[in-house]
Chain A
């Protein structure tokens, strides 16, 4: 039950995109087409779970052990970047089908603040290993949910008559705001 509540909290209430406002650039950049949005969501789930686990390990067994917590951010960047590179190489060799599916989205996430943010949140909330695993997965699912919802809305907007000054990214930002407002209604659910 504890894990379920945590998952719900991470997916809806503290949605990383619409409540924490992290990772807005892929949110706007890859939400023009449903196809790309789905690809991106899958890649984020994949990377975020891996990154969450490895950063937890780094934090618990390296940073805390040597009292080097002030190096957390910089070391996480290094670790996550290397991890993504490594995973990319691994997939290309071992699971080419998955590599082809994730395509260009994998390297795109290397410098994604949603991934970084989720990892840092896990640490600051002092989650254990299992909780970290669940929360990382749930944050990523929340990211995917918001992205896919948003892509659906944007595909519809494309067909509507939008006043010239509001076209494209401006109307997308307005829409994102409205969706974020609706997500606020989840507040206090858990």
Chain B
């Protein structure tokens, strides 16, 4: 017995001595942070992170091969602790979630009958899957099998549904998916996603300059999830209330229902859900990513500036807006009249954006009250310039400076600021765009007896929105087509008395595809008016460049249209830390264009702030369409008229500036939403009581 004991002690002693010696001899220096990091990982050795055990993961984190958030079971605190050890921003601790990108599921038709192994990967090898849709979900659930947390299920519509509560964002489903249906993204990545050629996108979502996921929010509206619908819109558009009122909705031109029937009234649905939020009395909370500690200055508080600030703030940057006018909103506050976009609504919407923690300085004009040097000295890392196009182009005719001559934006802005403007009884507005219509409709509300629109082409060529032209017709404006003003004639007091114009006729089509008007010699005609307002386009006011002759801002290059020169894909100007978008870069365009470019600039600024190369989005769909998604015929449609926008009767509207267009009532909105075919890249839902619809079921 004694010897057994001694023997075991002996062997034990030998082993421990050998081991302790060898641990000295074979000592390998390890970064002490590896052990510290490992203590903060879950310790489950589950391998969900893709590394062989927690120590390997810890090593990868310390070597910079993996982000602090690599551990999929770790809590938010754990991730933050790791981030702290590594000395990186907690911004990296933003937790990713898995999202399904396919709206179609099993709606697309089959190319062949599949009897092979139940694996998406296997089926994808055979002609990319059995569905005719090249990007859509295969539906055999490789993602479901890959998920270790039972967070993914194949939903009733045949595509995966993610339970956000259970999802830890490990990315296993994304790796398992042979298509790009399941994508694991952080909120910031979602906000900075731009349409790409391989995406599952309906024609409307491809057309929207802000790239809103239109089918998704209409679907949410249909299901009564109004709040979710607003959130979907806010991923792309910070101004749904304003856009819901003034957007000329280019999306509706591409609506698939519009091929066989009237298009879905997408914009009214947007207005319905955003008005629902405003009228509900409480704001839907807007999520933001953790702070990054980087500062950005946004010059100009118009749609482009607000959009850029909104998205930069949501991805965690600190933003300040500098606005020259007394209030934020830019052209949509000062250029769009009250009867189209009430100031109360705009105030409510802008307050929601500022509530995210954006600082706004008003009444400070760039180039006069502050310069680029001051911004850089105050620690701003990048600048967005969205100062709009506020300088009216002049007609360049004799008598333009007579008393009674105005310019559109100047007139509208002075009027909305509450300035008293001397009015006559009759007026002529020169131009055929939206600001011309805004001017005439405003003038009619001011009690003028006769208001003319003088336009050098015909009604068909007018660039203004059709609904606006119609409304102005109803309100009694008088059109003078094919007329080019040549002279303003004044009386002896220097007041406007008459407008002289030449009659025109249409000739050959020009570069824009519109027939070029040519003057008819000797056809001078006189129009008796007391006011002349010219509304013939605007250009940016770039006088700030000349006010600081020695500053760097002098290097900011302009185009020959006096807009700021930039690369349209990344919106970077000739000064690397200045980005620009909206009217100042494009010349007068739509609000929704400015919103889209604000977000695009936010993406570039984010890349710039992170020290990454500012490169365009790969396979970008900017100004492009997916060919196969544009149909010529759409079988399975039963004609149903679209919802008519309720509006105030002409008799009642001309007395005041109250809003003309009203919001759809709930039942009408739901009915309109039901007209949406819920299109995706190539599939759509035909109307169910149509005989064609039964074919696929």
Contact = CB atoms under 8 A, between A and B. Distances in A.
Given A89-B26, A92-B26, A78 B12 contact: yes
Contacts of A86: 18-19, 22
A161 interface: yes
Nearest to B16: A82
A137 B226 CA distance: 69
Interface string A82-120: 100110011011100000000110000000000000000
A89 B23 contact: yes
A1 interface: no
Given A103-B56, A104-B52, A93 B15 contact: no
A190 interface: no
B622 interface: no
Nearest to A86: B22
Interface stretch (A13-21, A67-75, A122-130): A67-75
Given A66-B7, A159-B119, A82 B15 contact: yes
A103 B52 contact: yes
Nearest to A105: B52
B3 A93 contact: no
A89 B30 CA distance: 13
A171 interface: no
A94 B26 CA distance: 8
Given A159-B117, A159-B118, A104 B56 contact: yes
Contacts of B117: 159-160
Contacts of A74: 8
Contacts of B56: 103-104
Given A78-B12, A104-B53, A68 B26 contact: no
A158 B52 contact: no
Contacts of B122: 159
B421 interface: no
Interface residues of A, number: 23
Contacts of B11: 62, 75, 78-79
A75 B56 CA distance: 32
Given A75-B8, A159-B118, A161-B118, A93 B26 contact: yes
B3 A68 contact: yes
Nearest to A159: B117
Interface in B142-196: 145
Interface in B18-63: 18-19, 22-23, 25-28, 45, 52-53, 56
A85 B26 contact: no
B18 A92 contact: no
Nearest to B26: A93
Contacts of B145: 158
Contacts of B3: 66, 68
Given A71-B4, A74-B8, A82 B19 contact: yes
A127 B15 CA distance: 25
A31 B52 CA distance: 15
Contacts of B22: 86, 89-90
Contacts of A62: 7, 11
Given A103-B52, A104-B53, A160-B117, A90 B18 contact: no
A185 to B, nearest CB: 29
A86 B19 CA distance: 6
Nearest to A92: B28
Contacts of A93: 25-28
A165 to B, nearest CB: 17
A89 B23 CA distance: 7
Nearest to B7: A68
Nearest to B15: A82
Contacts of A92: 26, 28
B18 A160 contact: no
Contacts of A66: 3, 7
B15 A79 contact: yes
Nearest to A82: B15
14 contacts: A62-B7, A62-B11, A68-B7, A79-B15, A82-B16, A82-B19, A86-B22, A90-B22, A92-B26, A92-B28, A93-B25, A93-B27, A103-B56, A159-B117
Interface of B: 3-4, 7-8, 11-12, 15-16, 18-19, 22-23, 25-28, 45, 52-53, 56, 117-119, 122, 145
Interface of A: 62, 66, 68, 70-71, 74-75, 78-79, 82, 85-86, 89-90, 92-94, 103-104, 158-161
